[in-house]
Structure formats: structure tokens, C-alpha cells
């Protein structure tokens, strides 16, 4: 198991005392952040890191190319730690760069849009595969609620969609164990599912961006990431609903947020498992998330194509989609019935 050692969630937690307690050696660090975050929180960053000397690198795109550019840019500067400050994309690059440099990473999320905050995975585009790569979990997570509450609305509530996905990802994992003899970790699976339940109980509050509810969402996203660290694979976090999402990333790039796509796709995959898909749909609705592909700006033809393509993206990762081998007409019929 590889897990973060320090997790601090709280109002104003991104501060000098906390950062100086985490990195006791006052060595030179590397800050990876995005242009908007630096503009908005430059003062907070400077103050939290006032005990350290550091270099700042700005990243724009969550691609391998961008991550490699950072590595080339920092070269032999010998930074002893990496701090990623930003949304999921920035944190994915920070985790990748820290992994390549063999340095500990501190994750400072500025939104609550996905479960990458504490997970040992990095999801970068432009590589060989459209899904995440196993790196190391961050050494620590400092989730400052007062910073996260300033994120655009869609970057807060969409994390709930990513968590809802665990309802079918853990079932896909169990199915792969039962039918293909794959390793299955009961505890990691329960933790991932419990994270989803924890956040789902606050769906309405998350929709109206209530402070306590957003805090629950953050705890759930972090503990789901920890479930991935316990499993040593993304199996508890990502199943058939994520395969559909990855296919949509390829077929309709830039359309909808990750968690929004996962949420709608879970309505479909939960139906395949005979689960209460209506309840999932109403939770999405309560949280102010899209409840259909159409609402995401994805037309029916593309949705059908994505669901057909999904199992081919990872033939080795057995899920309900691989088992059922659905035809286009069957998928169409189901999408009609689910009204998604
Ligand atoms: Zn996800």
C-alpha cells in the first residue's frame, strides 16, 4: 500500500506553519501551478512558502508533452520537493514530475472536481493510452476549503459525479475477480464505495455549495484516492463508467467535465447491473449536475459510439461492458429508456 502521510483539510490550511511542518528541511522546492491560480492566489502561495526558496513553473495542458517540458526546464536544478497547486490537471502533472524526479509531492487542490487529489495515478493526454498511469501518491494533501470555495461552481460539484462512478467501478472489479480470477481487494472496494456514499449523503448541499457539504465532498475524494493507493491499481476508482468517459474524451474532447461525464455514464452502467439508476439520476440532479449526454452537449450518435468503443480502449480490463458486448441498437434502446 502506498498512501499519503499527511492530510490537512480546513479553512486557511494552506499556510506557512502547515507547509513548514510538512517539509522540515528548508530546501529548494519546485512549485507547479496554472496561470489563473497564480494570478488569483499568488499572495497566498508566497506567504505559505515564505520559509522556502523555490522555482515556479506554469503548466497549461495535462499532456505528457507538457510534463516532459517541465522536466526539461527544471533539469538538474535538484529541487528536493514538488508542490502542485491547482485543479486536477495541474496535480496530475505535479505527481508525474515528482515521480520522475524521485521527489515527494504535496498536493494543494484548488477545486473538488475529481479523485486525483490523493491518488497514486496521473491522467495525462497524448500518451499511448487515454487513461491514467500509476505513479506515487502525494506525500501530503493540504485542502484549503477557503481556496476551494472560490473555484467556479462546475469545478466543485462535479467531483460528486466522479465519486458516483464508484458505484459501478467496484462492481466491475468484483466481476473481474469472479469471472477472470483477477485480484480483488475487499477493503479498498468498500472504502471507495463508502466514499461515494459519504458524498452522496450531501448531494443537495454540494449542489448549493454549502461549506460543510463541500468539506464532505473533499474528504470523500481524498479517501477514494486512498482506496486506489490501498488497491495499488485504479480498479476501485475506475470501471465501465470511466471507460465510457475516456471514449468521450477521445470522441468529444473538451465537452463536459470529467465528473459530469462519469456521473451520466454511471446512470447507464448502473442500469446494466440492475441497480437503482433512477436514484443515481436524482442525486445528480440534486447536486446540480447534468443528467443526460444531451445536457453535456454530446449528441446521441456520439454517446452510442463512445459506449461501443469503451471496452475496446482496455480489452484487458474486464467490465460489464466487455461481458455484455452490447450492439448499437441495444445501446440506443437503453439510452431511450434511461432518458440520458
Ligand atoms: Zn475519475
Whether residues 105 and 38 fall in one domain: yes
The predicted structure's pLDDT at residue 132: 80
**Residue 260 in contact with residue 154, Cβ under 8 Å?**
yes
Whether residues 63 and 79 fall in one domain: yes
Asked if the structure places residue 51 within a domain, the reply is: yes
**Residue 225 in contact with residue 119, Cβ under 8 Å?**
yes
Q: Which DSSP state fits 315?
A: T
How far is Cα 135 from Cα 170, in angstroms, rounded to an integer?
21
Asked if the structure places residue 316 within a domain, the reply is: yes
Residues in the chain: 340
Q: How far is the CA of 162 from the centre of ligand 1 (A)?
A: 5
Q: How far is the CA of 134 from the centre of ligand 1 (A)?
A: 14
How far is Cα 25 from Cα 335, in angstroms, rounded to an integer?
56
Residue that terminates a domain, selected from 104, 125, 148: 148
Q: Which DSSP state fits 327?
A: -
Q: How far is the CA of 258 from the centre of ligand 1 (A)?
A: 7
Whether residues 190 and 237 fall in one domain: yes
Q: Is 193 helix (H, G, I), strand (E, B) or coil?
A: helix
Whether residues 168 and 244 fall in one domain: yes
Whether residues 142 and 198 fall in one domain: no
**What CATH number corresponds to the domain at position 294?**
1.20.1090.10
Q: Which residue, among 51, 48, 50, 70, has the nearest Cα to 59 in the 3D structure?
A: 70
> For the chain, which residues score pLDDT lower than 70?
129-131
Whether residues 209 and 315 fall in one domain: yes
Whether residues 114 and 166 fall in one domain: no
The predicted structure's pLDDT at residue 130: 64
* CA 99 distance to own-chain centroid: 18
How far is Cα 112 from Cα 199, in angstroms, rounded to an integer?
12
Torsion of CA 169, 170, 176, 179, to 10 degrees: -120
For 287, residues 6+ apart whose C-beta sits below 8 A from its C-beta are 157, 160, 161, 203, 204, 206, 207
Asked if the structure places residue 50 within a domain, the reply is: yes
Residue 141 pairs in a beta bridge with 7, 107
What are the CA-CA distances from residue 5 to residues 118, 129, 133, 170 (Å)? 10, 30, 21, 25
- Looking at the 3D structure of the chain, how many domains does it have? 2
Whether residues 288 and 191 fall in one domain: yes
Whether residues 79 and 214 fall in one domain: no
Report residue 235: phi and psi, to 5°. Answer: -50, -50
Q: How far is the CA of 225 from the centre of ligand 1 (A)?
A: 10
Q: What is the pTM of this model?
A: 0.94
Torsion of CA 292, 285, 157, 266, to 10 degrees: -50
**What CATH number corresponds to the domain at position 27?**
3.40.50.1970
Q: How far is the CA of 208 from the centre of ligand 1 (A)?
A: 22
The predicted structure's pLDDT at residue 53: 95
What is the domain range of residue 162? 154-338
How far is Cα 259 from Cα 157, in angstroms, rounded to an integer?
9
Whether residues 117 and 250 fall in one domain: no
Q: How far is the CA of 232 from the centre of ligand 1 (A)?
A: 16
Residue that terminates a domain, selected from 148, 177, 210: 148
Whether residues 97 and 169 fall in one domain: no
Whether residues 67 and 212 fall in one domain: no
Q: How far is the CA of 165 from the centre of ligand 1 (A)?
A: 7
Asked if the structure places residue 206 within a domain, the reply is: yes
Q: Is 109 helix (H, G, I), strand (E, B) or coil?
A: strand
Q: How far is the CA of 259 from the centre of ligand 1 (A)?
A: 6
Asked if the structure places residue 229 within a domain, the reply is: yes
Q: How far is the CA of 304 from the centre of ligand 1 (A)?
A: 20
Q: How far is the CA of 5 from the centre of ligand 1 (A)?
A: 22
Asked if the structure places residue 1 within a domain, the reply is: no
The predicted structure's pLDDT at residue 101: 96
The predicted structure's pLDDT at residue 129: 67
Residue that terminates a domain, selected from 87, 113, 148: 148
Q: How far is the CA of 117 from the centre of ligand 1 (A)?
A: 11
Amino acid at each position: 500500500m502506498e498512501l499519503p502521510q499527511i492530510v490537512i483539510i480546513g479553512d486557511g490550511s494552506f499556510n506557512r506553519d502547515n507547509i513548514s511542518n510538512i517539509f522540515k528541511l528548508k530546501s529548494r522546492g519546485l512549485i507547479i501551478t496554472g496561470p489563473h491560480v497564480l494570478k488569483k492566489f499568488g499572495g497566498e502561495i508566497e506567504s505559505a512558502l515564505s520559509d522556502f526558496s523555490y522555482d515556479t513553473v506554469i503548466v497549461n495542458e495535462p499532456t505528457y508533452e507538457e510534463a516532459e517540458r517541465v522536466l526539461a526546464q527544471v533539469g538538474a536544478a535538484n529541487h528536493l520537493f514538488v508542490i502542485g497547486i491547482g485543479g486536477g490537471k495541474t496535480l496530475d502533472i505535479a505527481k508525474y514530475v515528482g515521480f520522475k524526479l524521485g521527489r515527494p509531492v504535496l498536493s494543494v487542490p484548488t477545486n473538488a472536481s475529481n479523485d486525483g487529489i490523493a491518488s497514486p495515478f496521473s491522467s495525462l493526454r497524448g500518451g499511448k493510452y487515454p487513461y491514467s498511469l500509476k505513479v506515487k501518491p502525494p506525500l501530503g494533501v493540504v485542502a484549503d476549503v477557503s481556496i476551494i470555495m472560490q473555484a467556479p461552481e462546475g469545478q466543485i460539484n462535479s467531483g460528486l459525479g466522479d465519486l458516483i462512478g464508484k458505484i459501478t467501478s467496484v462492481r466491475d472489479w468484483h466481476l473481474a475477480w469472479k469471472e477472470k480470477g483477477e485480484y480483488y481487494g475487499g477493503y479498498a472496494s468498500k472504502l471507495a464505495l463508502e466514499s461515494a456514499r459519504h458524498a452522496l449523503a450531501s448531494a443537495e448541499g454540494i449542489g448549493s455549495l454549502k461549506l460543510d457539504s463541500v468539506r464532505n465532498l473533499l474528504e470523500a475524494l481524498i479517501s477514494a484516492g486512498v482506496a486506489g493507493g490501498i488497491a495499488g491499481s485504479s480498479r476501485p476508482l475506475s470501471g465501465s463508467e470511466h471507460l465510457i468517459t475516456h471514449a468521450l474524451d477521445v470522441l468529444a474532447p473538451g465537452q463536459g467535465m470529467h465528473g459530469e461525464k462519469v456521473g451520466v455514464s454511471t446512470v447507464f452502467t448502473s442500469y446494466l447491473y440492475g441497480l437503482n439508476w433512477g436514484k443515481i439520476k436524482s442525486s445528480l440532479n440534486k447536486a446540480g449536475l447534468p443528467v443526460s449526454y444531451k445536457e453535456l452537449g454530446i449528441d446521441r450518435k456520439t454517446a452510442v459510439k463512445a459506449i461501443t468503443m469503451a471496452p475496446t480502449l482496455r480489452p484487458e480490463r474486464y467490465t460489464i461492458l466487455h461481458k455484455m458486448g452490447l450492439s448499437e441498437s441495444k445501446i440506443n434502446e437503453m439510452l431511450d429508456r434511461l432518458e440520458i
